[in-house]
């Protein structure tokens, strides 16, 4: 349903392609029955964000207004001209409402979902309130069969998830539609039969409302951002525009100053009296004005300066550590911990420098060691004496 200009100016909350959501639609989405616009927006969103990624799929999400036209308009030619072309269509989703009065579009009180498999000639009906919309869904199946020119079998699924209150039927329709579209049709193997039963499926209606509201708010913020970018341009273009305006003002001031100097020379006056500030002062003014137009660049330079200070601080810290290591010989004195204090007290602390010796000292130590070893290991020779007879 297209958004009229009057509605767009007065009460529009979000304009999303062919759907225009109002503030009343968003309010009803929070804790009330879903309107035709809510369901039409959900179908539009699924087509743009999900179906567009599957160009080989030929699935139609019929809008609530088109379903109502199919059920209530007696002229078949008018209905066929309003409906899309179903020649290559494999599946059709139809939101069913129990409204019986064409003069009152909002007279209905319950929503249900009808999924028609054109390939198999079967229509599956999902009703979250014990089959309240059974007659309307059966009638819509018969009318669609006439439009397609082929018989369609109507199947009412008894295992459809049931709502816990009286106002979540529209939310159930939206969530079941997405589940059947994504999980059962788009991501299924084409060579296998897909079960359309919803037995054991849990539907979180409260979470579904919050998700739909979040999607609407995100789309609205994205639209405001695009409109702002279209109106004012990117930030770089805005900075360039400010710089251009400032330079034009400086040029005008320069021309006025030159004209004053020329007039003062013609009148015989000193140029300094009509010139205003001296050239050096004017140059400083020009530099200050130019600096005001480069706010973004100054912010970035401040960030770079802060990063440079951090790097300089780290470099000074590293230098101090290197100087400390050179002064103390690369060792770091730490107090003994409680666990190893007894071991430290029982043995003398040693360092690498204490065990090093010069070459002569090592030779003398090795000689003393060899002498000691020889004195210990070499047995004392016995003296042989002749026995006196």
Q: What is the pLDDT of residues 164-216, one digit of tens each?
A: 999 999 999 999 999 999 999 998 777 778 899 998 899 999 999 999 999 99
Q: In what helix (H) or strand (E) does residue 376 lie, and over which residues does it extend?
A: helix 359-377
Task: Please give the residue that has the higher pLDDT: either 343 or 102.
Answer: 102
Is it the case that residue 368 has pLDDT exceeding 80?
A: no
The average pLDDT across 351-365 equals 54
Which of 102-116, 269-283, 309-323 is predicted least confidently? 269-283
* Mean pLDDT across the chain: 79
**Mean pLDDT, residues 54-78:** 94
**List of residues 6+ apart from 69 with CB closer than 8 A:** 79, 82, 83
Using pLDDT thresholds of 50, 70 and 90, give the confidence band for residue 389. Answer: very low
pLDDT digits (tens, 9 = 90+) for 13-56: 999 999 999 999 999 999 899 999 999 999 999 999 999 999 99
* Residue bearing the bigger pLDDT, 100 or 75: 75
Judged against a pLDDT cut of 80, whether residue 316 lies above it is answered with yes
Q: d(Cα 46, Cα 37) in Å, to the nearest integer?
A: 14
Active-site residues, by number, are: 110, 127, 169
- Percent above pLDDT 70 for the chain: 69
pTM greater than 0.85 (yes/no): no
Rg (CA), the chain: 45
Q: Given this model, what pLDDT does residue 71 score?
A: 93
Beta-carbon count within 10 A of 223 CB: 13
% pLDDT > 90, the chain: 48
Q: What is the pLDDT of residue 311?
A: 84
Of 176, 184, 114, 102, nearest in space to 145 by CA:
114
248-286: per-residue pLDDT in tens? 888 888 888 888 888 887 877 765 555 455 555 556 566
Residue 171 to residue 141: CA distance in whole angstroms:
22
What's residue 270's pLDDT?
Answer: 65
Half-sphere exposure at residue 145, Cβ-oriented, CA atoms within 13 angstroms? 15
100-104, 111-115, 149-153, 361-365: segment of lowest average pLDDT: 361-365
The answer, yes or no, to whether residue 224 has pLDDT greater than 90, is: no
Length of the chain: 389
What is the reported pLDDT for 285? 61
**Residue 184: burial class (beta carbons within 10 Å; 0-12, 13-18, 19+):** middle
Cβ proximity of 209 and 30 under 8 Å: yes
Q: How confident is the model at residue 320 (pLDDT cuts 50, 70, 90)?
A: confident
Beta strands in the chain (DSSP E): 12-16, 19-22, 59-61, 91-97, 111-117, 122-126, 153-156
In this structure, whether the domain defined by 10-231 belongs to CATH 3.40.395.10 is answered with: yes
């Amino acid at each position: 349903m297209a958004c009229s200009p009057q509605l767009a100016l007065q009460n529009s909350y979000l304009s999303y392609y062919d759907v225009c959501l109002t503030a009343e639609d968003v309010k009803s989405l929070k804790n009330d029955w879903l309107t035709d616009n809510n369901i039409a927006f959900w179908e539009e969103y699924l087509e743009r964000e999900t179906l567009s990624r599957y160009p080989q799929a030929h699935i139609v999400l019929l809008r609530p207004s088109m379903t109502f036209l199919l059920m209530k308009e007696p002229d078949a030619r008018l209905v066929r001209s309003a409906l899309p072309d179903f020649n290559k269509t494999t599946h059709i989703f139809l939101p069913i409402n129990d409204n019986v009065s064409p003069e009152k579009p909002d007279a209905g009180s319950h929503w249900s979902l009808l999924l028609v498999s054109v390939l198999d000639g079967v229509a599956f009906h999902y009703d979250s309130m014990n089959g309240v919309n059974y007659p309307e869904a059966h009638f819509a199946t018969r009318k669609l069969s006439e439009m397609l020119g082929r018989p369609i079998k109507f199947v009412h699924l008894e295992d459809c998830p049931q709502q816990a209150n009286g106002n979540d039927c529209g939310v159930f329709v939206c969530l079941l539609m997405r589940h059947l579209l994504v999980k059962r049709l788009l991501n299924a193997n084409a060579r296998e039969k897909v079960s359309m039963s919803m037995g054991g499926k849990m539907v979180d209606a409260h979470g579904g409302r919050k998700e739909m509201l979040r999607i609407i708010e995100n789309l609205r913020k994205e639209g405001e951002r695009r409109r702002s970018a279209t109106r004012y341009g990117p930030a770089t273009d805005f900075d360039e525009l400010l710089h251009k305006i400032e330079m034009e003002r400086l040029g005008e001031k320069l021309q006025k100053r030159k004209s004053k100097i020329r007039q003062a020379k013609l009148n015989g006056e000193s140029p300094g009296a009509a010139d205003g500030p001296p050239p050096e002062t004017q140059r400083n003014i020009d530099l200050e004005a130019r600096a005001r137009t480069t706010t973004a660049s100054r912010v970035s330079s401040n960030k770079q300066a802060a990063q440079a200070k951090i790097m300089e601080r780290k470099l000074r810290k590293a230098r101090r550590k290197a100087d400390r290591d050179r002064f103390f010989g690369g060792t770091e004195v730490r107090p003994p911990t409680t666990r190893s204090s007894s071991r430290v007290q029982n043995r003398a602390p040693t360092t690498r420098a204490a065990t090093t010796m010069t070459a002569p000292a090592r030779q003398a130590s090795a000689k003393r060691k060899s002498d000691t070893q020889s004195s210990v290991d070499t047995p004392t020779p016995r003296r042989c004496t002749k026995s006196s007879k």
